[in-house]
Structure 1
Amino acid sequence: MPTYTAPAKDAQFVLHEVLDIANSGIPGYADLDREFTDAVLDAAGKVASEILAPLNAVGDTEGCHLENGVVRTPKGFKAAFEAVKEGGWNGLDLPEEYGGQGLPYLVGTAVGEFFVSGNMAFNMYQGLTHGAIGAILTHGTAEQKAAYVPKMLSLEWTGTMNLTEPHCGTDLGLMRTKAEPQADGSYRISGQKIFISAGEHDLAENIIHLVLAKAPGGGEGTKGISLFIVPKFLLNADGAPGARNAVACGKLEEKMGIHGNSTCVMNFDGATGFLIGDLHKGMRAMFTMMNEARLGVGLQGYAVAEAAYQNALAYARDRLQGRAVTGVENPSGPADPLIVHPDIRRNLMEQKSFIEGARAFTYWAAELIDRSHRLGDEAAEGLVSLMIPVLKGFQTDKGFEAAVNAQQVFGGHGYIEETGASQFVRDARIAMIYEGANGVQALDLVGRKIGQDGGKHAMAFFDLVKAFIKENEGDAALKAQFLDPLKTASKDLQAAAMFFAEAGLKNPNAALAGSYDFMHLFGHVCLGLMWARMARAAQAALAAGAADAGFYEAKLATGRFYMARQLPSTSLHLARIFTGADPVMALGPDAF
């Protein structure tokens, strides 16, 4: 059975030596000293490794079952959910006035990584609840916040988001779910939603559905969409769950992965709903959650890869196969371990260098979200909004690739379910699809984000990279191994953006045909920047005589691998972008 150990030391390195969070000037960060974050991460790591990870394979093999309208979750999930509830983990970064602990979003992000690595399917129950709470806090009335948030924060109740319909995925303007106003100010919600994660289950006494629907008078397309709170059980006057609402799970989806999470078809048959936010402004309410939701999915990309990598590494150290080409390295055994072979090392280094770079990128983005929310920093908001489609799209693509590479280390045993390697691959796959499929992320990046506000956020990113390079170019080792490759990659990114600005005006397809390559090009530059920052921190620690020199030396070696072997991918992506639309659009629809 696969195991998992939370990489708390690496998380601490990013938090304190790369981001230097205690001196960031963000309200609440000054309290995040090493002792405090060590205690939080240690406790979260124990939950992830001792409670959640042992249930990962259980959830995969048992799945969820629909019985008389109730979804039964896998064995052990209820007890684990109670442990997470009792630990107050869902309220870690939520307001104290509703029972939360009020810590920065960054802390919740680091803890979330550990929980996802331990059991992605399980973590979705509270993860989706956290997102629904965010929508209610941002757009709900004082009464709605008081009625729902404390119980959802404590996980006595959970939450969902209902967007997708059988005929309507990304194009929400095609939505058919209706909301009919009632004399008492409520609405009758009628329609069907699909792919609703945690739409029905036996873990909580109530489920608070957030549902997008069309109310009269809103016009066509997305302009007519509003957002509604539709509880599974309506609330009595005392705020306790009362009568059952007219919402039910009609079917459980049979999925490729995340079997431990209930993915439901939800039927709303005149269910009572309550408007949240402004009428016909449901899309605005939904989009306020997008940065955090998509960051959370980008986190899933590398967090599942981390668990897969740990198990592949253990197998590579133990499995004896062949002899090292440079001479016997295990003379007392019949063969050498897999890890002596160069191609296995390449495979593991690709995984390791991606995961550690992605962790730093994700934590930095979470810090920018805190800077935006806690300081009202519009520049931080613009920068993180630019990078969110990159973080979501690039990291889930590369995370899936890393999980496949981890499976490859096992050889034929990776294709056998008992090793668990297959589950990581299957679970990782969904992150490339939900919260906006990665092709949509690429279109959003090129079609909207790089030109947003006159392109000032893209220019701010280029300036940030240039400033870091200039600030550190006096360090010869850093310059040769990290800064020069980063400069080259950044120039590729700027050349691609310039091509879109020029060619895209004449032929929009020329830009959109290269959007996916641009997303990956941007992702590599972001990880290149993170590796340059981590290398600087590692060099400083070694110069100061750090006790754990091996950790920092390994960090530098891993970073050098990324800069030498992975970052040059930017030139390939740029070459593809420069070909424009012609190779992509050459065949007419009937010629395929």
Structure 2
Amino acid sequence: MATYTAPLRDMQFVLDELLELEHYADLDGFADAPRDVSTAILEEAGRLASGVLAPLNAVGDHLGCRLENAEVSTAPGFREAYRLYAEGGWTGLTASPAYGGQGLPHVLGIAVREIMTSANLAFSMFAGLSHGAANAIANGGTAAQKALFLPPMIAGRWTGTMNLTEPHCGTDLGLLRSRAHPQADGSYRISGTKIFISAGEHDLAENIIHLVLARLPDAPAGVKGISLFIVPKFLVNPDGSLGARNGVQCGSLEEKMGIHGNPTCVMNYDDATGYLLGEAHQGLKVMFVMMNSARLAVGVQGLSLASVAYQNAASYARDRLQGRAPGGAIAPERVADPIVAHPDVQRMLLSQRAFVEGGRALAYWAGLQVDLAHKHPDPEVRESANDLLGLLTPMIKAYCTDQGVESISLAMQCFGGHGYIREWGIEQLLRDARITPLYEGTNGVQAMDLVARKLKLNEGRALKRFMALVEDFCQEQGAQLGDCTVALQQALGDLKLATAYLLERSDPATSGAAAVDYLHLTALVAFGLQWARMALIADRHLADSDDSTGFYRAKRLTARFFFERILPQTAIHLQRVRAGAEVLSAFDPEQF
């Protein structure tokens, strides 16, 4: 079974030294989370994760969920763990105090989410989806809806879901068929079938609040005719007490590759009572609040699973004896050297480490942009944060999940045949992680969003701001980083060339053919900026001989590995972008 210990030292490094959160003490919530408080929160989250959630990870995978008479039972131990999770206040960590939340910074919530997800992805999904549903209600709901639904959701007594996909349509929501018929009392009757609904039915909470996309009778065709509805599992009385069972049931559970501890449901709505959330025909506008939050969360899932996989691979490599190190025995008193002494194993471990630590820095930076976009008093700062967040969201969702799967695969390779065996837990991590490039919009869709929409939005303002950040850093701090700066400037040059190529060609085929490579190129530059900033901090500590644990030396060496071995991949992505779509479009559909 895989084990997990929260990487608290590196998390605090990112929060305190890289992002310097103390500079934002004047923003709502930040004064309530100074360094000692954030440290205590992360420590407590780590104890819950390693002591309660991680041991249940294999249990959920082996036993899964059961469906009987339209009721779903979760794996043994999940109900008790969720009770502890809710009682500990974790469900309301970043939620508004007006509805019972603690109002702490979103960036701190990202760190806590990483811990919980690393320990048990299937478990963390219950609370993660509820958080997104509560955000959608908070952003689009009436005062009465917020007062009725948010307090129990934030307290963890109720959970939430997102119902988009139907058997015949996934990403193309314009094909959606679910219907909503208005009633005299202001409610609606919802009918239709939704599939792939994570945590659509379970036994952890008193009620489940489904957010359901459906069409009104007078709805225009396509995505402009979609409305969003609140459809509770149990109807809610005006005083907040639960009423009769609503007309929504789980028809079946999907048999799937991973995340067995979380039920993926087919949900049938049969004249279920629902309530319009936001304006009629404007459902996607409200739902995208939840979807964008979910996409960042999925990117963190890729990072989180890669983190626990790296921990276990490094531990195994230090213990596993095989052969002798190329330069001579490092443990001559033993029958063989540990495989961590072999260069190829070191390559695999450092590839994982460079992704995990760089991804952590990038994800937390994005979390800080959420706080700035919502809380900063200066409208220019809010605009800049919104621009960066819009650019970072598809990058983090797609790149961090693509590389998360690759990183876990490298961890399995470090284990050799043992990684393929259930006993060690790595094969479960790989199976669980494989969903992350698929749900909340496949990574190809994320790449198309970046190229077809974000690249040109507001005349490319977001990308210009991002590239200016990288350029300014190289000019202001570059002399101190030497070859790292040269590598980052070369990567930025590749990004500029790729951007110019795409802006000069407006045909959809070229954009589609280049999208994934362009996203990976952009993400590598974003990783490069974070690694350059971290290398600079490490250099300052090393110059002061402030490195009793070797933390900063390891950070600096990992940065060097990233700049020497990983960042140069931008040149390959640039070449692929410039290759265009000709060879792809040369194939007739029947030839595939």
TM-score bin (small chain) = over 0.9
What is residue 268 of structure 2 aligned with on the other side?
Answer: 267
Q: Which runs of 5+ in 2 are unaligned?
A: none
Counterpart amino acid of residue 392 in structure 2: M
Q: Deviations over 1:279-299 (max 9, x none)?
A: 110011111223322111110
The equivalent residue for 2:364 is: 363
Conservation of the 8 A alpha-carbon contact between 1:443 and 1:515: yes
Conserved 8 A contact 1:226-1:279: yes
Structure-1 separation of matches of 2:168 and 2:281: 21
CA contact (8 A) 1:472 1:479 kept: no
**Once the 2 structures are TM-superposed, how far is the Cα of residue 90 of structure 1 from its aligned partner?**
1.0
Q: Is the 8 A contact 1:23 1:29 kept in 2?
A: no
Alignment of 1:35-434 (within 5 A): 35-375=36-376, 376=379, 377-434=382-439
For 1:484-495, what aligned pairs fall within 5 Å after superposition? 484-495=486-497
Q: How far apart are the structure 2 equivalents of 1:417 and 1:326?
A: 34
Q: Name the CA distance, whole Å, in 2 between partners of 1:217 and 1:36.
A: 52
**How far apart are 1:213 and its partner, in Å?**
0.3
Given that 1:177 and 1:191 are in contact with CA atoms closer than 8 Å, whether structure 2 keeps it comes out as yes
Q: Give the deviation of 1:218 after TM superposition.
A: 1.8
2:448–2:511: 8 Å Cα contact kept in structure 1? no
1:561 alignment partner, SS class? helix
1:501 is aligned to 503
CA deviation vs aligned residue, 1:317-353 (integer Å, no higher than 9, x gap) = 1111111121112222211111111101000000000
1:219 aligned counterpart, secondary structure: coil
Superposed structure 1 runs of 4+ greater than 4 Å apart: none
SS of residue matched to 2:76: coil
Q: Which amino acid aligns with 1:273?
A: G
CA contact (8 A) 1:22 1:32 kept: no
Give the 3-state SS of the residue equivalent to 1:29 in structure 2. Answer: coil
- Rounded to whole Å, the distance in 1 between the matches of 2:21 and 2:282 is 36
Name the CA distance, whole Å, in 2 between partners of 1:332 and 1:78. 50
Distance 1:32 1:200 in 2: 35
> TM-score, normalised to structure 2's length?
0.98
Count residues with an aligned counterpart.
Answer: 587
Instruction: Report SS of the residue matched to 2:468.
Output: helix
- Hey, what does 1:479 align to over in structure 2? 482
| Counterpart Cα distance in 2 of 1:229 and 1:28 | 29
CA distance in structure 2 between the aligned counterparts of 1:161 and 1:456, rounded to whole angstroms: 31
Q: How far off is 1:356 after superposition?
A: 0.2
Pairing of 1:18-33 with structure 2 (within 5 A): 18-24=18-24, 26-33=27-34
Task: After superposition, give the CA deviation of every residue in 1:439-462 in whole Å (9 maximum; x if it has no partner).
Answer: 000000000001100111111111
Match of 1:468 in 2: 473
3-state SS of paired residue (2:153): helix
Query: How far apart, in 1, do the equivalents of 2:91 and 2:149 lie?
Result: 14
In structure 2, C-alpha distance between the alignment counterparts of 1:65 and 1:133, rounded to whole Å: 27
CA offsets 1:76-101 (integer angstroms, 9 cap, x no match) = 10111011011000101001111110
SS in 2 for 1:211: strand
* Aligned counterpart, 1:552: 552
Please give the alpha-carbon distance, in whole angstroms, between the structure 2 residues aligned to 1:570 and 1:30. Answer: 40
Identity %, equivalent residues: 54
1:537 is matched with 537
Q: What's 1:571 paired with?
A: 571
Counterpart AA for 1:46:
R
Q: CA RMSD in A?
A: 1.1
Deviates more, 1:32-41 or 1:46-55: 32-41
User: Distance in 1 between the 2:391 and 2:222 partners?
Assistant: 25
Shift of 1:239: 1.4
Question: Which amino acid is the alignment partner of residue 488 of structure 1?
Answer: Q
Larger CA deviation: 213-222 vs 264-273: 213-222
Pair 1:447 & 2:452 matched: yes
> 1:228-280 CA deviation, whole Å, 9 max, x = no partner?
00000001242111100010000000110000001000000010000010011
Q: In the TM superposition, what are the counterparts of 1:518-537 in structure 2 within 5 Å?
A: 518-537=518-537
Maintained 8 Å contact 1:361/1:526:
yes
Displacement, 1:200?
0.2
The whole-number CA distance in structure 1 between the counterparts of 2:585 and 2:51 is 52
User: Offset of 1:31 from its aligned partner?
Assistant: 4.4
Separation in structure 2 between the aligned mates of residue 236 and residue 369 of structure 1, nearest angstrom: 34
The answer to whether the 8 Å contact 1:216/1:224 transfers is no
Give secondary structure in 1 for the equivalent of 2:208.
strand
Indicate the residue corresponding to 1:437 in structure 2: 442
> Partner of 1:431: helix, strand, or coil?
coil
The 8 Å contact of residues 60 and 75 in structure 2, kept in 1 or not, is answered as: yes
Structure 1, residues 527-566: CA drift from partner, whole Å, max 9, x if none?
1110001011111222344253500000000010001000
* Number of the residue aligned with 1:515: 515
Distance in 2, matches of 1:146 and 1:320, equals 60
Aligned to 1:589: 589
Query: Partner letter of residue 127 of structure 1?
Result: G
Distance across 1 between alignment mates of 2:291 and 2:71? 30
Q: Match of 2:375, SS?
A: helix
Which whole-Å deviations, capped at 9, do the CAs of 1:130-175 have from their partners, x for residues lacking one?
A: 0000000000111111111000111111100100000010000100
More moved, 432-441 vs 540-549:
540-549
- Describe the SS at the equivalent of 1:184: coil
